[in-house]
Amino acid sequence: MKILVLNGSPKGEYSVTLQTAKFLEKKYPEHIFEFLHVGKKIKALERDFSPVVKYLEKADMLLFAYPVYTFIAPSQLHRFIELLKASGVDLTGKYATQITTSKHFYDVTAHKYVEENCKDMGMKYVRGLSADMDDLLTEKGQKEACDFLEYAVWSAQNGYCEPYTAYAVPAAHNPVEIPECGAEEKKGDVVIVTDCEEDNEQLAAMIARFRAVFPLKTRVVNLREYPFKGGCLGCFNCAVSGKCIYNDKFDEFLRNDIQTAQATVYAFTIKDHSMGALFKMYDDRQFCNGHRTVTMGSPVGYLVSGAYSTEQNLQMIVEGRAQVGTNFLAGVATDEKEPNAEIDRMAKTLAYAIEHKYVPPQNFYGVGGMKIFRDLIWLMQGMMKADHKFYKAHGQYDFPQKKLGTMLKMQLVGVLLSSPKIKAKMGNAMNEGMLMPYKKLFEKLDKEEK
């Protein structure tokens, strides 16, 4: 089988993920592996995509290999997929799969993104391999890699693939009415971050309506006007100092022009099941903040043009980003149905969150994601000094091992419950004991009322 490895890492040959594909090449000499470093060479491919086409046409299987960057693939791979779709090359019926390496922080949304785009192009998708960064150095990880390739090849030989999801046909844009702005002077500072193009009248109208009805002052930052030198390279130059290796001053722009706002609204048109390559570059470049949730407590809102209701993976990304960052999600206003009402509702909710400093507790997306980061930074504190300092200062090293008192209590409870006689005598005492702290709380409230 001819397997074309599309290396989406901006590091090219130095990619950790790539090593798994090279390992498989050595283990399975009966298959022909070819490698294209599409992430590192994305600028050249923007000028001329034709060199890639001949490799795509003769391949039996496409193997996307990339590290997980900010919930999805690196921006360079986003851009490659945009170019791939625009090239018009027919990939119908070809098999596709993927390999990622990460610490399993939202690797599910990264895999789903690639899967959805492969299916858009008519390819037969086989479930990929999600590996930890160090898995290949263990016998277990090596076996898992081999098992993955054998399964992928077997699937292709037998005509098996993941079933297609029947996506709804995107509804036509519903017109957005822009009310006249009042003459009163607005206070506050809410930033609207967008990649709106000049001819995107629909998204521009959504932004204009939000600004008209929102009671606080707003400003727009259009990413198309920022002089990005490129996407995140994963070089870790910023790990100690927080300073990006690029000299386009994005780190200063981010901290001074974006993160100083009271709230952030993201405005985009859905493209390839995501926010698009430019927005992804913006997200990836925020790694100059490392894993620090520097905008915690600041609410966010979204203005989305497109069939958002059919994009379940994108919905998970939007909610997961807010949850991990401890940012209240004030709403996602779309133009699918009654856009004026949705925009107005999101604007009112965002204003309420700002006024009342509303920060609800995290759900599984936020708690689970932060535990992964917590353990990662603890292990890598020697290199990620800025992250380590931030986590210490904000009490994010909440390891259960430190709760010795609770652990001792549970040991005692375990001993009591292991004895049938004692358990029978306890009756409902255990449940009453669990409620005791709450009874004390209510007694305190009763006294305060008197």
Would you state the pLDDT for residue 186?
Answer: 77
pLDDT tens by residue, the chain, 450 residues: 999 999 999 999 999 999 999 999 999 999 999 999 999 999 999 999 999 999 999 999 999 999 999 889 999 999 999 999 999 999 999 999 999 999 888 899 999 999 999 999 999 999 899 898 889 999 999 999 999 999 899 899 988 888 765 554 555 678 899 887 655 677 779 999 999 999 999 999 999 999 999 999 999 999 999 999 999 999 888 877 778 899 999 999 999 999 999 999 999 999 999 999 999 999 999 998 888 888 999 999 999 999 999 999 999 999 999 999 999 899 999 999 899 999 998 999 999 899 988 888 787 888 888 999 999 999 989 888 888 999 999 989 988 777 788 888 888 888 887 888 887 877 778 778 777 887 887 788 788 876
Look-up of token digits 């519903």: 174
DSSP 355-407: HHT--PPP-HHHHHHHHHHHHHHHHTTTT-HHHHHHHHHTT----GGG-HHHH
Taken in order of first residue, the domains within the chain and their CATH numbers are 2-157 (3.40.50.360), 190-365 (3.40.50.360), 403-449 (no CATH)
CB 328 within 8 A of CB 353: yes
The Cα 78–Cα 278 span in angstroms is 9
- Which of 161, 17, 165 minimizes the C-alpha distance to 95? 161
CB 305 within 8 A of CB 202: yes
Handedness of CA 337, 338, 344, 348 (dihedral sign): negative
Q: At a CB cut-off of 8 Å and minimum separation 6, what does 211 contact?
A: 181, 192, 218, 220
CB 226 within 8 A of CB 253: yes
Question: In this structure, what are the phi and psi dihedrals at residue 7, rounded to the nearest 5 degrees?
Answer: -80, 105
Would you state the pLDDT for residue 113?
Answer: 95
Tokens (6 digits) for 401: 């091992």
The Cα 126–Cα 124 span in angstroms is 7
Handedness of CA 156, 157, 160, 166 (dihedral sign): positive
Look-up of token digits 């298959």: 31
Would you state the pLDDT for residue 13?
Answer: 93
CB 396 within 8 A of CB 292: no
- Strand 32-36 relative to strand 2-7, pairing: parallel
- Going through 195-273 in order, the beta strands assigned E by DSSP cover 218-222, 263-269
- Which of 285, 372, 359 minimizes the C-alpha distance to 327? 359
- Strand 329-334 relative to strand 300-305, pairing: parallel
Would you state the pLDDT for residue 243?
Answer: 83
The Cα 64–Cα 255 span in angstroms is 33
Would you state the pLDDT for residue 172?
Answer: 61
The Cα 227–Cα 237 span in angstroms is 20
Question: In this structure, what are the phi and psi dihedrals at residue 378, rounded to the nearest 5 degrees?
Answer: -60, -40
Would you state the pLDDT for residue 318?
Answer: 94
- Which of 317, 295, 320, 300 minimizes the C-alpha distance to 308? 317
DSSP state of 72: B
- Which of 365, 168, 190, 182 minimizes the C-alpha distance to 270? 168
Would you state the pLDDT for residue 105?
Answer: 87
The Cα 18–Cα 376 span in angstroms is 22
The Cα 140–Cα 99 span in angstroms is 16
Tokens (6 digits) for 119: 């299916």
